[in-house]
């Protein structure tokens, strides 16, 4: 391979102008091909799909977990209820004027007209909403003395000041049937602890007023939601100033938490990347003595990344965006190749010496790393498969591009102008002869045997969220008011036939009512209180028709007319009610139910093509969760989703997959190294430090009680890849001699410096996820370097040089 790259070098030197044009054209073609690829932003694609969770994935894709923003408007010591509603009115007016483009709906404010429309809808479809107990109540009201009393009360209401409002309802519904029916809609989510005050949802003590905002954009669209969040907080500050010491407000919701996370991550990355880039560029420019070194360093990596995306655009119509994001982080391993070549050129090796010395180790390293990434193809996850292909192509492409491009772009310096730097001195030091370092590694090995088992996988992704104090305090206030921190389960009916799904949901609703009655659950919200299947509606209509026999209808009309005459009512006053009794009712469709504007039906019912889901939200104590799950475990086309437990289970599957993949990677690396070296002892010299590095890293994590999570476990593959690189470079360096060994160690030190400054600097981040990345990276990368420098030469001397001095090179010469 050295001869191939040497010939390529001379060919490019001979046709420089043509080569530059070719490079620009290659960039252009790759960018064009990459631009044709579509990206799928569905994070659930990370989750392995199999026959067990395929149905779950389909339901999750369809169901709508509405992440609402809850606005808690609270009275202060000098405030009144009027101040509370005035604050809310100004809040809504301002949102309507300035932030309407970010909002789908706001609940918590009900206009009088909407109330009448809802009453009319329920009244016109009364049989569908009545229960068996209601007919007993109606039967009691139909007695002659009861009708007389009801008529008297209706008359008093009509002549009272409130009569203007109540007149329309009483004339249409003298027996209050619609009032009975509408009470059953409480199960849609209206708590007994709240009441309507001037159209607003106010707590019974009139200290709190709640509004519920449904954002237009999903919580992962932090760009648009960031603008909305900024407007919300500005509006809060303005209104709090106007109503100082009277009323204040706070917000809580998944959308705001996502924005806070994105802003904190952006802030952390801006700070840490700025520091890292300044330090890195300064080190590289000073060390390699060339201002253009940053460009030279990253061109092969950029080309390789574009090549990977271009190839994926040919074999895939779309790829997971999250896999590309993770892959971009892992591309840091490809900088090793550029650093390795740059360091050899800096040490004034001839072009022949360069390719002879670096071609084999770089290609070995890239092939072993690529094979490790390709092991991801064994996981039944589209996103992880995309990640494996992207990373493997990138690693291989970067090694080849680095070998072709960097010798052309960087010429090094003459020996007499090159000064020995601190990094050169570090590389020249013989770490394997330092007894303190040897003793420390032995001590850590022994200690790790007692601490590695402490390392666990944190499956609770919520602990990796960043929450500002304002959101934490808002959550605490809401918890006291509506028990927001209680456990929420989602009971979901699903299927492809609308009526079958509705019938399934009818059964869910009945079961939830029994669970609430038996105090197995705290409360539940279900659209089943309103929307039911045709089958259930027809039964309800038949019950109505059986109850209202011609004789009962006639007698009721006579009683109402006779008692009405006493108070001056005309015989035709209740004509609409008589018409209702004679009306032929038909089952309602879902679209007809949506005429009730005050009920957010779309929060419960969702469709994706012909696949449909209906969700019920159940609030339950932690101790009763399993009991609720058991109640529905045998129900067909029904899923009980505990979002936290689901995340923990699915992330647990990912952890198990990564454990298996680590084993596959190790086997692949072991076989490739044996094929390259064709020497079992050289293979062991290279592999044993990798095993020790991983064991010591886990041991130190256990000692410090650090945990793996979904983010840093992926970064651990990056550390594994670097550890493989270091071992290969060290073995090849020892085979070629002392001067080459120093050059190899220099490139390793630069790689460590790059990683610590690039990723390790995140130790200063406030976001817990970023902080965890840095901690694992610093521990792993330093362990990989020190173990390669200390253990590998000792192993080489024990296994190679004692038995075959000719193979030992000059590394141990005095």
Handedness of CA 308, 313, 319, 321 (dihedral sign): positive
Q: What angle do CA 518, 529, 105 make, to 5 degrees?
A: 120
Choose from 57-71, 261-275, 470-484, 496-510 the range with maximum mean pLDDT: 496-510
Range 762-791 burial, b when 16+ CB lie within 10 A, else e: bbebebbbbbbbbbbbbbbbbbbbbbbbbb
Higher pLDDT, 685 or 483: 685
User: What per-residue confidence (pLDDT) applies to 807?
Assistant: 45
Summarize the confidence of residues 440-469 as an average pLDDT.
83
Cα dihedral across residues 34, 35, 38, 40: positive or negative: positive
Quote the DSSP letter at residue 801: I
Please give the mean pLDDT across all residues of the chain: 81
Residue with tokens 């209601």: 134
Residue predicted with more confidence, 577 or 62: 577
DSSP code at position 109: B
pLDDT at position 812, please?
Answer: 41
Beta bridge partners of 457: 708
**What does the buried/exposed string (b/e) look like for 559-570 if buried means 16 or more CB atoms within 10 Å of the residue's CB?**
bbbebbeeeebe
Give the lowest-confidence range in 571-585, 681-695, 766-780. Answer: 766-780
* CA angle (735 as vertex; 731, 739 as ends), nearest 5: 100
Residue 147 — φ and ψ, nearest 5°?
A: -65, -35
- The confidence score (pLDDT) of residue 442 equals 94
pLDDT of residue 8: 86
For residue 363, is pLDDT > 80?
Answer: yes
Question: What's the mean pLDDT in 397-417?
Answer: 77
For residue 811, the model assigns a pLDDT of 41
Q: Give the angle subtended at the CA of 378 by the CAs of 373 and 381, to the nearest 5°.
A: 90
Q: Which residues pair with 40 in a beta bridge?
A: 320
Task: Give residues with Cβ within 8 angstroms of 519, minimum separation 6.
Answer: none
The Cα 618–Cα 522 span in angstroms is: 8
Average pLDDT over residues 583-605: 83
Residue 684 structure tokens: 């062991």
Among the ranges given (54-58, 474-478, 554-558, 765-769), the one the predictor scored with the smallest mean pLDDT: 54-58
By CB atoms closer than 10 A (0-12, 13-18, 19+), residue 357 is buried
Check pLDDT > 90 for residue 696: yes
Read off the DSSP letter of residue 790: H
Helix then strand count (H, E) for the chain reads 31, 13
pLDDT surpassing 70 at residue 515: yes
Most confident option among 67-71, 330-334, 635-639: 635-639
- Measured CA to CA, the distance from residue 584 to residue 588 in angstroms comes to 13
Collapsing DSSP to helix, strand or coil, 619 comes out as: strand
The yes-or-no verdict on residue 358 having pLDDT over 90 is no
Q: Work out the average pLDDT over 350-356.
A: 83
Can you tell me whether residue 250 is helix, strand or coil?
Answer: strand
Is residue 501 a contact partner of residue 614, using CB atoms and an 8 Å limit?
Answer: yes
pLDDT at 238: 93
Structure tokens at 565: 């005459």
DSSP readout, 559-605?
A: HHHHHHHTTT--TTTTHHHHHHHH----PPPHHHHTT-TTS-GGGTE
Mean per-residue pLDDT for 681-702? Answer: 91
Give every CB contact of residue 44 below 8 A, 6+ residues apart in sequence: 57, 60, 61
Beta partners for 73? Answer: 209, 249
Sign of the C-alpha dihedral, residues 425, 430, 436, 442?
positive
Spatial separation of the C-alpha atoms in residues 130 and 185, rounded to whole Å: 11
What band does 654 get if pLDDT is binned at 50, 70 and 90?
low
Confirm if 386 and 316 have CB atoms less than 8 A apart: yes
Strands annotated E in 394-551: 487-495, 523-526
The answer, yes or no, to whether residue 808 has pLDDT greater than 60, is: no
Average pLDDT score over residue span 702-707: 89
Residue 813 scores a pLDDT above 70: no
Which residues, 6 or more positions from 652, have their beta carbon under 8 angstroms from its beta carbon? 457, 459
Residue 133 pLDDT exceeds 50: yes
- Nearest to residue 733, comparing CAs of 426, 503, 427? 427
CA distance 231 to 97: 12
In whole angstroms, what is the distance from residue 122 CA to residue 760 CA? 63
**pLDDT score at 809:** 45
- pLDDT average, residue stretch 61-88: 81
Number of neighbouring beta carbons within 10 Å of residue 271: 15
DSSP state of 163: H
Model confidence over 197-247: pLDDT tens digits? 777 888 888 888 989 888 888 777 778 888 999 999 999 999 999 998 899
For residue 590, give both structure tokens.
């879902």
Range list of β-strands (E), 355-442: none
Least confident of 77-81, 321-325, 546-550: 321-325
Query: 331-335, 340-344, 392-396, 688-692: which has the minimum mean pLDDT?
Result: 331-335
Specify the pLDDT at position 235. Answer: 93
Entry pTM: 0.68
User: Which residues, 6+ apart, have CB-to-CB distance to 49 below 8 Å?
Assistant: 57, 380, 381, 382
Separation of CA 36 from chain center? 26
In the predicted structure, residue 787 carries a pLDDT above the cut 90: yes
Question: Which of helix, strand or coil describes residue 661?
Answer: helix
pLDDT at residue 445 tops 90: yes
Q: What share of the chain is helix, strand, coil (3-state, %, to 5)?
A: 70, 10, 20
* pLDDT in the model for residue 219: 76
Tens of pLDDT along 604-613? 888 888 888 9
Number of neighbours of residue 55 by Cβ within 10 angstroms = 12
User: If you write DSSP's letter for every residue of 726-774 in order, what string do you get?
Assistant: HHHHHHHHHHH-HHHHHHHHHHHHHHHHHHHHHTGGGGG-SSHHHHHHH
SS3 495: strand
Residue among 550, 536, 803, 514 at smallest CA distance from 685: 803
Pick the more confident residue, 763 or 60: 763
Q: In whole angstroms, give the CA distance from residue 357 to residue 351.
A: 10
For the chain, give the number of residues.
Answer: 814
DSSP assignment of 708-719, as one string?
A: B-TTHHHHHHHH
CA gap 338, 83 in Å, rounded = 67
Q: Is residue 175's pLDDT more than 70?
A: yes
714-770: pLDDT as tens digits: 667 767 777 888 888 888 888 876 666 888 888 888 888 877 776 767 777 777 777
Rounded to an integer, the average pLDDT of 555-583 is 89
Residue range 121-131, pLDDT digits in tens: 888 898 998 88
Cα gap 139→222, rounded to integer Å: 57
Q: What is the pLDDT of residue 164?
A: 54
Angle formed by the axes of helices 738-758 and 351-374, nearest 10°: 50
Looking at per-residue confidence, does 537 or 298 come out higher? 537
Within 190-253, where are the H helices?
Answer: 222-242
Number of neighbours of residue 480 by Cβ within 10 angstroms: 10
**Percent with pLDDT over 90 in the chain:** 17
Report how far apart the first and last C-alpha atoms of the chain are (Å, whole number): 33
Q: What is the pLDDT of residue 460?
A: 66
For residue 42, pLDDT over 60 is answered with no
């Amino acid at each position: 391979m050295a001869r191939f790259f040497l010939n390529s070098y001379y060919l490019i030197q001979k046709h420089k102008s043509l080569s530059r044009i070719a490079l620009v054209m290659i960039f252009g073609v790759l960018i064009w091909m990459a631009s044709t690829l579509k990206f799928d932003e569905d994070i659930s694609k990370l989750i392995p799909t199999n026959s067990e969770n395929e149905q779950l994935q389909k339901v999750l894709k369809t169901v709508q977990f509405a992440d609402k923003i809850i606005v808690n408007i609270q009275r202060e010591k000098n405030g009144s209820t009027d101040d509370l509603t005035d604050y809310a009115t100004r809040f809504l007016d301002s949102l309507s004027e300035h932030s309407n483009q970010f909002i789908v709906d706001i609940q918590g404010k009900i206009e009088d007209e909407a109330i009448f429309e809802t009453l009319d809808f329920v009244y016109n479809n009364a049989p569908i909403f009545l229960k068996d107990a209601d007919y007993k109540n109606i039967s009691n009201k139909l007695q002659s003395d009861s009708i007389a009393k009801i008529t008297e009360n209706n008359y008093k209401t009509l002549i009272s000041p409130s009569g203007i409002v109540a007149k329309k309802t009483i004339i249409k519904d003298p027996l209050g049937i619609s009032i009975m029916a509408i009470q059953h809609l409480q199960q849609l989510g209206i708590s007994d602890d709240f009441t309507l005050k001037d159209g607003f949802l106010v707590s019974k003590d009139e200290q709190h007023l709640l509004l519920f905002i449904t954002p237009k954009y999903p919580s992962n669209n932090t760009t648009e939601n960031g603008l909305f969040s900024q407007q919300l907080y500005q509006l809060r500050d303005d209104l709090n100033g106007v109503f100082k010491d009277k009323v204040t407000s706070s917000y809580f919701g998944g959308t705001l938490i996502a924005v806070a996370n994105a802003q904190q991550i952006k802030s952390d990355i801006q700070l840490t990347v700025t520091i890292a880039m300044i330090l890195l560029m300064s080190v590289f420019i000073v060390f390699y003595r060339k201002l253009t070194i940053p460009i030279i360093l990253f061109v092969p990596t950029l080309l390789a990344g574009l090549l990977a995306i271009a190839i994926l655009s040919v074999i895939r119509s779309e790829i997971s965006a999250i896999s590309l994001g993770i892959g971009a982080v892992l591309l840091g391993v490809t900088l090793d190749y550029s650093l390795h070549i740059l360091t050899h050129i800096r040490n004034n090796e001839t072009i022949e010496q360069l390719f002879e010395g670096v071609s084999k180790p770089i290609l070995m390293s890239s092939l072993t790393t690529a094979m490790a990434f390709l092991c991801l193809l064994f996981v039944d996850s589209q996103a992880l498969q995309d990640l494996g292909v992207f990373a493997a192509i990138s690693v291989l492409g970067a090694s080849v591009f680095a070998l072709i491009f960097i010798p052309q772009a960087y010429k090094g310096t003459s020996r007499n102008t090159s000064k020995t730097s601190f990094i050169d001195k570090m590389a020249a030091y013989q770490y394997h002869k330092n007894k303190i370092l040897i003793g420390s590694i032995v001590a850590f090995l022994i200690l790790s045997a007692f601490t590695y088992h402490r390392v666990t996988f944190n499956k609770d992704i919520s602990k990796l969220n960043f929450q500002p104090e304002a959101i934490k305090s808002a959550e605490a206030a809401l918890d006291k008011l509506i028990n927001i921190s209680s456990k929420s389960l989602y009971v979901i009916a699903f299927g492809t036939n609308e009526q079958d799904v509705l019938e399934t949901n009818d059964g869910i609703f009945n079961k939830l009512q029994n669970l609430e009655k038996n105090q197995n659950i705290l409360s539940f919200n279900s659209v089943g209180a309103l929307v039911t299947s045709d089958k259930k509606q027809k039964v309800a209509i038949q019950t109505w028709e059986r109850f209202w026999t011609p004789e009962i209808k006639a007698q009721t009309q006579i009683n109402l007319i006779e008692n009405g005459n006493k108070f001056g009512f005309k015989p035709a006053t209740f004509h609409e009610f008589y018409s209702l009794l004679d009306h032929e009712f038909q089952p309602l469709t879902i679209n007809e139910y949506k005429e009730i504007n005050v009920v957010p039906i779309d929060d419960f019912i969702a469709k994706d093509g012909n696949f449909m889901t209906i969700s019920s939200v159940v609030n339950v104590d932690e101790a009763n969760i399993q009991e609720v799950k058991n109640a529905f475990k045998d129900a067909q086309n029904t899923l009980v989703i505990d979002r936290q437990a689901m995340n923990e289970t699915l992330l647990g599957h990912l952890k198990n997959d990564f454990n298996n993949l680590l084993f596959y990677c190790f086997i692949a690396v072991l076989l490739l190294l044996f094929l390259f070296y064709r020497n079992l002892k050289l293979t062991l010299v290279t592999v044993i430090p990798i095993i020790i590095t991983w064991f010591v890293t886990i041991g130190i994590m256990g000692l410090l009680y650090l945990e793996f999570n979904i983010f840093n476990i992926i970064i651990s593959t990056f550390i594994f890849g670097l550890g493989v690189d270091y071992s290969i470079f060290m073995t090849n360096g020892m085979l070629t001699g002392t001067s080459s060994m120093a050059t190899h160690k220099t490139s390793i030190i630069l790689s460590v410096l790059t990683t610590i400054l690039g990723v390790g600097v995140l130790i200063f981040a406030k976001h817990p996820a970023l902080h965890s990345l840095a901690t694992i990276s610093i521990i792993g990368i330093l362990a990989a370097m020190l173990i390669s420098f200390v253990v590998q030469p000792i192993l080489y001397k024990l296994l190679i040089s004692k038995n075959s001095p000719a193979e030992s090179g000059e590394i141990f010469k005095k």
